[in-house]
Amino acid sequence: MSSGLAVADAPWHARRDAVAGLGAALAVLTGTVAKMARDVALLAQGEVAEAFEPRAEGRGGSSAMAHKRNPTGCQVALSAAVRAPHLAATLISALPGEHERGLGGWQAEAAVLADLFALAGGAAAAMADVAEGLEIDAAAMARNLAAAGVGADTGEAEALARRLLADGED
């Protein structure tokens, strides 16, 4: 039995699903960017040493270990990814507002959305810089493959990389 009520008839402050959806999408975007950051950070560890963030004056150095290159761009994206899901949860928790005069829920959305946009944008910008200047040590990759005893078998990785590189030349 239909009541004849439509969601579209509800006033804007009673319809919070689009705002919550936007916040969730920003959190997912931040997490997706952070996946790349995690991979680069792991590849930059001393025992792997296959990929590194670009060198930049005053960035990523260590006062205790002069040779060290800290992945600071990755740190920006990874720390954003820790915060973003909880901010999205704030928006989702505000969904069940009271009738048409909800108090406290939707009023909290603007600051939370601003934070989510800042986190997603900052993470993406940081990792764009990393991607543009990423340094690859092919010799270290070859050493690590040899040490792993897998020979030249890199599975589908080589074919995928070649296809991506070829697509980028168009």
Has residue 75 been placed in a domain?
yes
Q: What is the pLDDT of residue 150?
A: 74
Among 3-7, 54-58, 138-142, where is mean pLDDT lowest? Answer: 3-7
Residue from 2, 3, 63, 101 carrying the catalytic annotation: 101
pLDDT (tens digit, 9 = 90+) per residue, 33-76?
Answer: 999 999 999 999 989 999 999 977 666 555 665 556 789 999 99
CATH number, domain containing residue 45: 1.20.200.10
Range of the domain at 29: 7-136
Task: Calculate what percentage of the chain has a pLDDT beyond 70.
Answer: 82
Has residue 144 been placed in a domain?
no
Around Cβ 134, how many Cβ atoms within 10 Å? 17
Contact in structure between 132 and 54 (CB atoms under 8 Å):
yes
15 flagged as catalytic: no
93 flagged as catalytic: no
Has residue 78 been placed in a domain?
yes
Number of domains in the chain: 1
Has residue 17 been placed in a domain?
yes
Has residue 157 been placed in a domain?
no
Around Cβ 42, how many Cβ atoms within 10 Å? 14
Contact in structure between 106 and 84 (CB atoms under 8 Å):
no
Question: What is the pTM for the complete model shown?
Answer: 0.79
CA-CA distance, 25 to 16, in Å (whole number)?
14
Residue from 62, 93, 143, 162 carrying the catalytic annotation: 62
Has residue 63 been placed in a domain?
yes
